[in-house]
Structure 1
């Protein structure tokens, strides 16, 4: 068997990251091209200017194609934004064959009943993920195929997204002549890159603190338990620094990246450190760090508010795994442990090989995770995407012609 080519496009608020990889027959992911560029036309994970966003994506793809020598024809794409919502739902079917043996067709039937929920016209199903199965009341079954029983239950995690928000993103990518293999919620993608199977089993929170949103996933017993998107992240940190210290936004962003720390700054009045300077602007190191620390404390508390159960020790013994560009701030692990009183670590994506020097950074967890998702799953063509954009309409038109000629 030859290697399969998989492309991931992480359309972020501050950067666009396109990664092209070869996936070998046993699932190994070898990165052959990376294209990273600044993001235009997006705000808090949402497209606000289609033309600007499309050109940013085009430039990122061009760089990845140039590095790899491959042409991008289709891609796995990350989705985020406060419009995303999730719920858990159950499905049940009877096993009516004489041998009472659960087969893969029964899994499809029970999943279909679980996703048979009322979805408003302005929302679309993004994921229906099986969490756990039960056969004749025996719960905790991960794969019931081959088991005997009269009744099959499934508990699923269902994620929906605002149709218009997703359609705008899809239109940008389809407008470049690139098809979409699947749309993947970004924290689910990030979890593929930075969480271990042990953490998912015992219980863990993943928080991807990006530029525009903080994306949250909770895992328990090896499966997804809860997802949420908080519209507070790195952009708000920088804005607070810019307003609090009277700096241009770009200067505040550079100071945050270069000097920012969330650890307390201890100093005496006699020995105040000299001010830090960037582009002719000078500010107090203590003031900079105090502002960043206050906002990060708020983000950490917002993350924990997403957990319905206040007994963190029993629900998530593995604690909190931080990833995303903002988790690069010095002292994040220490501050997290001090405030939340649970284990905290920063997750770096390290499950791929090849030209990955630039990707060993929490900022690229979503992009690497999309690749790993693509390596594990076959492309899923969501039927409702077919109507979006010029390429979708052309596809439907050609199908119509085929149907006309085929009937004669």
Structure 2
């Protein structure tokens, strides 16, 4: 059976995760190697020290290579940061062939027009995501190819990034000895790992709360319609604990991971004793209040941003939360009470192979990057097959 090797590198503020896999003809990736290391040289999702970031990536790649048993040559890489922006645009073309039937070339033409936006200097397009199509004014068309019409309209979501941020990320990965096949917005990748097709269709907002940023993407009618990044994350939670208690940042991080919660505790109940580490102690209620305050602020910031999106029916959305901070107990319940939206924690799609370590919400981006790569390879293959059939029919 023919095998194809694919890989993903999640370059996060808190960790670097490299995943190596092989894909058989059935299209399901089998995980062969995973390398996860703490990251250095990144701040709020962006490279701040090329040498340190490169070394961290190299270490994560090396660990994955050791497990997989072969050298990693290329990978799909995730990007985030406050520099990310999202805008919707529209394009229209006339169908000129004799049969008035939409063909693949018409789709390419209308998407080319829909991507023609005026980019500020120093910015580049990351993704052009088709949101919807219309034929002769009839909206709600998902797959126009093969249908008859005089006019084809397309609405797209265009995601852009700062060119220097993209260049610095690519430089670090290349410096670690890996060719970059594609640069993908991280929450788009995470969505592939944790959202169901029904959620994408009905309406969902994905929150990927990482170590340096909270990445948000909104889905409606099956496609991403808006994306943004908020520079509030797990880092701020840890810093709040450190400042409020006077302990070191590293100790605060350990306490957050081991004891953190956004659930109120009744100190008279068993199991709710003070947290004591050496000479330091803090009640579970006090720790919970510190974390809850910051998480409520983050959720409100997300809702403010969502409320400013035109034509978005907030009441129709479900909220799905992933990322390392999603491991804090009670976060989904806090999201429900703060946003009034149905909420759940997003666990990555389980894949065959050595993937037990990847079942944590913190690895949604890594798994999602792998699935994104697989999905886009399939799209290219289908497109090539379609062109081949068309050309064959013209001979």
TM-score (norm 2): 0.92
Counterpart residue number, 1:340: 339
- The whole-number CA distance in structure 1 between the counterparts of 2:314 and 2:282 is 43
Deviation of the 1:275 alpha carbon: 2.9
After superposition, where does 1:219-298 map in structure 2 within 5 Å?
219-267=219-267, 274-278=273-277, 280-298=279-297
DSSP 3-state at the match of 1:277? strand
DSSP 3-state at the match of 1:92? strand
Deviation of the 1:171 alpha carbon: 0.5
DSSP 3-state at the match of 2:13? coil
Given that residues 215 and 228 in structure 2 are in contact (C-alpha distance below 8 angstroms), is that contact kept between their aligned partners in structure 1?
yes
Deviation of the 1:310 alpha carbon: 9.1
2:104 is the alignment partner of 1:104: yes
Note the alpha carbon deviations across 1:122-178, whole angstroms, 9 max, x for none: 101100111111111111111111111111111100000011111111100111232
Counterpart residue number, 1:204: 204
Note the alpha carbon deviations across 1:350-396, whole angstroms, 9 max, x for none: 2422111111100000000000001111399xxxxxxxxxxxxxxxx
- The whole-number CA distance in structure 1 between the counterparts of 2:7 and 2:307 is 36
Deviation of the 1:283 alpha carbon: 2.5
Note the alpha carbon deviations across 1:264-298, whole angstroms, 9 max, x for none: 12336x99954313365332322211101111111
Q: Comparing 302-311 with 101-110, which one deviates more in the overlay?
A: 302-311
Counterpart residue number, 2:391: none
Counterpart residue number, 2:383: none
- The whole-number CA distance in structure 2 between the counterparts of 1:41 and 1:379 is 34
Deviation of the 1:116 alpha carbon: 0.9
Counterpart residue number, 1:392: none
2:374 is the alignment partner of 1:375: yes
- The whole-number CA distance in structure 2 between the counterparts of 1:271 and 1:362 is 29
Q: How many residues align?
A: 380
- The whole-number CA distance in structure 1 between the counterparts of 2:3 and 2:315 is 38
Given that residues 182 and 379 in structure 1 are in contact (C-alpha distance below 8 angstroms), is that contact kept between their aligned partners in structure 2?
no
TM-score (norm 1): 0.89
Counterpart residue number, 1:30: 30
Q: 1:42 to 1:33 in 2, by over 3 A?
A: same
Deviation of the 1:192 alpha carbon: 0.1
- The whole-number CA distance in structure 1 between the counterparts of 2:196 and 2:20 is 23
Counterpart residue number, 2:44: 44
2:1 is the alignment partner of 1:4: no
Counterpart residue number, 2:61: 61
DSSP 3-state at the match of 2:266? coil
Given that residues 46 and 81 in structure 1 are in contact (C-alpha distance below 8 angstroms), is that contact kept between their aligned partners in structure 2?
yes
DSSP 3-state at the match of 2:348? coil
DSSP 3-state at the match of 2:258? helix
DSSP 3-state at the match of 1:307? helix
Q: 1:72 to 1:280 in 2, by over 3 A?
A: farther
Given that residues 44 and 213 in structure 2 are in contact (C-alpha distance below 8 angstroms), is that contact kept between their aligned partners in structure 1?
yes
Q: 1:27 to 1:273 in 2, by over 3 A?
A: closer
- The whole-number CA distance in structure 2 between the counterparts of 1:282 and 1:319 is 38
Counterpart residue number, 1:360: 359
Q: 1:172 to 1:309 in 2, by over 3 A?
A: closer
- The whole-number CA distance in structure 2 between the counterparts of 1:39 and 1:361 is 18
Note the alpha carbon deviations across 1:6-46, whole angstroms, 9 max, x for none: 11000000000000111222321111110000100001001
DSSP 3-state at the match of 2:239? helix
Aligned CA-pair RMSD: 2.2
- The whole-number CA distance in structure 2 between the counterparts of 1:323 and 1:374 is 20
Q: 1:277 to 1:119 in 2, by over 3 A?
A: same
Give the unaligned 5+ runs of structure 2: 380-395
Given that residues 29 and 352 in structure 1 are in contact (C-alpha distance below 8 angstroms), is that contact kept between their aligned partners in structure 2?
yes
Given that residues 257 and 329 in structure 1 are in contact (C-alpha distance below 8 angstroms), is that contact kept between their aligned partners in structure 2?
yes
Given that residues 27 and 376 in structure 1 are in contact (C-alpha distance below 8 angstroms), is that contact kept between their aligned partners in structure 2?
no
Counterpart residue number, 2:324: 325
Q: 1:271 to 1:127 in 2, by over 3 A?
A: closer
